Amino acid sequence: MLEIPFVDLPPLHGASGTAVLPGSKSISNRVLLLAGLAGGETAVHDLLDSDDTRVMLAALKALGCTLRRDGPVLHVGGLGGRLRVHEASLFLGNAGTAMRPLTAALAVLATTQGGRFELRGVPRMHERPIGDLVDALRPLGCRVDDLGQPGYPPLLVHGDAGGRLEIGRPIRVRGDVSSQFLTALLLALPLVAADREVAVEVDGELISRPYVEITLNLLARFGIDVARDGWRRFTIPRGSAYRTPGAIRVEGDASSASYFVALGAIAAGGGAPVRIEGVGLDSIQGDIRFVDAARAMGGDVRGGPGWLEVRRGRWPLEAITLDCNHIPDAAMTLAAMALYARGTTRLTGIASWRVKETDRIAAMAAELRRLGATVVAGDDFVEITAPAPHAWRAASLHTYDDHRMAMCLALAAFNPLAGATPARPVRILDPRCVGKTFPDYFETLFGLAWTPPETVPVITVDGPTASGKGTLAAALAQRLGYHLLDSGALYRATGLAARSAGVALDDEAALARLAARLDLRFDADRVVLRGEDVTDELRLESTGALASRVSAWPAVREALHGLQLAFRRVPGLVADGRDMGTVVFPDAALKVFLTAGSAERAARRHKQLISKGIPATLDDLRADIEARDRRDLNRPVAPLRPAEDALALDNSHLSIDESVERVLGWWDERRPFGTPPAG
C-alpha cells in the first residue's frame, strides 16, 4: 500500500475472530543469515515479508547468495562460509537484526578472506549504538572503520586475504546495552571455529536473554551446539561448521501476537475470543512470556502449539508492576493495556527502550499523555495511569517511524470500553511504519474490530456524469485508508448478470432477485463477478447503458441497499454514486457534490476516448452529456440531486490532486484532531 499520512480509527467497541500472524522478525533475519552462511540450499517456510527482512535479503543477494521463491517458500543458496563477493555497500534500513550480525560476519570473513564492506542505514540506524560490538571485534584483528560518529553506523569493515583472527583467548563483549552484540558474535564465529574452540564472555549483566536463546536454538538447527555457562560464557566447540537443516519453518512473531493478546483481553467481552494463529505456547520466542503479563492484568489466555485464544477475564484490567527485562518489545503493549487498567501500571527494566527504533520511553510517555493518561517516565521505567472517563482526548498520535508505537497506540481506539465519554476517535500518524514487521497490521486489526455501523465515518461523493467523482472517491479512500464503495459498479454488475442470465431489462422482480444474490467481489483493484474478472467489461459504455436501465427499478435499488450498507466497515468508507448521500448514507459525515461545466466534462471524456483510440467529436460528446444531465435530473427514480447538506465542488479548473486536497481540507475541519502536520 502507498504511504498515507495518517489513519483515523473510529471509537471501537469490541473484537473477535482470527488473526493469522506474519513470521517472526527475529527468527526470519537470523534464519536468513544462517542459511546465507551455510552451504547448500535451505528452504525457508513462512518467512516474514517486511522492511527488515527485505534489507537482509537484498544484502544476501549482494553478497552472492542465490534466492529463489517458490510460492510461499524461499530457497536460499548459501555461501558455504566462502566469500563470493569481496566488495559491497549494503543498505540495511533501520534493521538492527541485519546491521549487527552482518557487521560481525563480514568483519570475520573480510579479515580471513579479504574484502571491503560498507554497512549503512537510515538516519535513525546511525543513531543506534554498535560500539560495543566494534570494541569486541577490533581486538580480534578485525579492521572496522567508523564512517560517521564513532560507535555508530555507518561502518566499513575490511581486511586482506589470509589474515588471522586472534581468537585464542575468550572474546569479551558487553551485554547490558543490547543482546544483539552477543548474538552477532555467536552467529559469526562458527565461521572460524573449524580448527579451534571459540569462547565469548559477557561483561556486565546480559539483557534480553530470551533473544540470545533464539540465537542458540537456531544455531543448533544449523549444526552449531554452543555450550553455555550461565549467561556469562558461551563456547563454540572446535570442529563447528554450518550445516543447513534443508528446510526450516519460521514461527509467527510473538511480539506481534502481543497486540492481539491485548486486544482479546480488552475487547473480546462478548463470548467469542480473539484467536491467534502462527504462534503458541510452544514458541521459542521470549516474547511469548507476554502471555503471563497479560494474564496478570486480567486477560483469559489459553493456547497450544501454534495457537492462542484470548478473552476478557477480569474487567477492568488490573494494573501491575513488572520488571520487563525478559520481554523488552512486548512490554510496550502492556503500556497500551494500562489505558484499560484500574490503578497505576509500573514497567521497569526497560532502559533498552531508549536505543530502539526511537527512544521508546520518551515516545510512549508523550503519546499516552496526549490521550489523557498520566505518565511518569524515568531512565529505565515508566508508570501509567489510565485517563478518567471524561479525560480521554481525541489525539493525533505520532509514531516516530516505530512500528511498535503504531501497533500499540491503535489499541487506544477501544476507549469506549474504558467508559470514555464521549467516545474518542484516534488518529495514527504515518501508519505504514508497521511495514517493519507487520505490513498488514491495520487490515488484520480492522478485520477483528467491531463498532456499531452508524459510528463508522462515511464520506459520500456524487455528481453528474464525467465529473470525475469515481476518480476523486478512489483517491480519497486511498489517502484515508478507507474502504471504497463504487455503487455504480453494483448496478453495472447487475446489468451484466442480467444479460448473461438472459433476464429481460423490464422484468423488475427477476432483476431484483438477481441483484439480491449478486456474487460480486472487490479484490484489490479487480472486480470479480461469479468467479470471473469483469473489471474491464464493467467500464464499457454498453455496460453503463445496462446499468442505467436496471437502476431505474425501485425493487433493484432496494435489493442492493443491504449490500451497500455492508461496506460501512472500520475504519471508514468513501461511497460514490447517485443516492449515497440522500438514501443509503443520509447520516454521512461529509457529502461532496462534484460538478464541472459540460464543456469541461466533454473535453475530459474526449481526451479519454482518443487515448483509447476511440474516435469522438467534442460537440457530439457535449450534446450527449447535456442530454444525460437532463435525463438524470428528471428521472423519477433516484434523480441526480445533491443532498441538502452536500458541499458543492466545481472542479472545472482543478486538477485531481487539487480536488482531493480541497475535500481533505473539508474533512479535517470536521474531525476533532486539529490541523494535521504539513506534508
Catalytic residue from among 46, 132, 253, 329: 329
Proportion of the chain in helix, strand, coil states, percent, rounded to 5: 40, 20, 35
Q: Give the nearest residue (CB) to ligand DC.
A: 488
Query: Which amino acid makes up residue 294?
Result: A
- CB 505 → ligand DC: shortest distance, Å? 13
Contact between 274 and 310 under an 8 Å Cβ cutoff? The reply is yes
- Residues with Cβ within 8 Å of 1's Cβ and at least 6 positions away in sequence, in order, are 432, 439, 481
How far apart CA 157 and CA 163 sit, in angstroms, is: 13
Report the alpha-carbon distance of residue 233 to residue 225 in Å, rounded.
14
Closer CB to ligand DC, 235 or 551, in the complex = 551
Q: Which is closer to ligand DC, CB of 310 or CB of 485?
A: 485
Look up residue 523 and give its three cell numbers. 479484490
User: Please, what is the minimum distance in Å from the beta carbon of residue 367 to ligand DC?
Assistant: 40
Nearer to ligand DC, 239 or 639 (CB): 639
- Total length of the chain: 679
Give first-to-last CA distance, the chain, whole Å.
Answer: 18
Longest dimension (CA), the chain: 92
CA distance 514 to 385: 55
Distance of closest approach, residue 578 Cβ to ligand DC, in angstroms: 3
Residue nearer to ligand DC on the CB measure, 322 or 461: 461
Told to check if 578 binds ligand DC by CB under 6 A, we report yes
Would you say 370 and 345 are in contact if contact means Cβ atoms under 8 Å apart?
Answer: no
Residue range at the interface with ligand DC (CB under 6 A); choices 35-43, 344-352, 574-582, 610-618: 574-582
Q: Report the nearest approach of ligand DC to the CB of residue 294 (Å).
A: 45
State how far the Cα of 50 lies from the Cα of 439, in Å rounded to an integer.
6
- Region near ligand DC per CB under 6 A, out of 171-179, 370-378, 518-526, 572-580: 572-580
Distances in Å between the Cα of 146 and the Cα atoms of 129, 158, 294 are: 12, 12, 42
Least gap, CB of 486 to ligand DC (angstroms) = 7
Q: Is the CB of 373 or the CB of 529 nearer to ligand DC?
A: 529
How many amino acids of this chain bind ligand DC (CB under 6 A)? 12
Task: Tell me which of 106, 577, 596, 651 binds ligand DC, using CB under 6 A.
Answer: 577
Is 46 labeled as catalytic in the residue annotation? no
Torsion of CA 533, 539, 542, 543, to 10 degrees: 60
How far apart CA 286 and CA 308 sit, in angstroms, is: 15
Phi and psi at residue 432, to the nearest 5°: -75, -5
Restricted to residues 46-105, the positions that interact with ligand DC (CB under 6 A) are none
Query: Whole-number minimum distance, CB 21 to ligand DC, in Å?
Result: 38
Binding to ligand DC by CB under 6 A, coded x per residue (else -) over 481-520, reads: ------xx--xx----------------------------
Among candidate residues 59, 91, 60, the one with its CA nearest the CA of residue 77: 60
Residue whose CB is less far from ligand DC, 324 or 538: 538
Binding window for ligand DC (CB under 6 A); candidates: 9-17, 39-47, 311-319, 576-584: 576-584
- C-beta neighbour count of 246 within 10 angstroms: 9
Half-sphere exposure of 6 (CA within 13 A, CB side): 22
Shortest separation between residue 494's beta carbon and ligand DC, angstroms: 9
Contact segment (CB under 6 A) with ligand DC among 219-227, 334-342, 351-359, 573-581 equals 573-581
Select 55 or 461, whichever has its Cβ closest to ligand DC. 461
Q: Which helix (H) or strand (E) holds 19?
A: strand 17-20
Contact mark string toward ligand DC, 520..549, x via CB under 6 A:
------------------------x--xx-
- Which residue, 76 or 550, is less far from ligand DC as judged by CB? 550
Tell me which of 272, 296, 603, 638 binds ligand DC, using CB under 6 A: 638
Does residue 595 interact with ligand DC by CB under 6 A? no
Half-sphere exposure of 173 (CA within 13 A, CB side): 30
- Contact in structure between 108 and 163 (CB atoms under 8 Å): no
Instruction: Output the smallest distance, CB 499 to ligand DC, in A.
Output: 15
Contact 378, 348 (CB under 8 A): no
- What CA–CA distance (Å, rounded) separates 431 from 8? 10
> Which residue ranges make up the site for ligand DC (CB under 6 A)?
487-488, 491-492, 544, 547-548, 551, 577-579, 638
Catalytic residue numbers?
A: 329
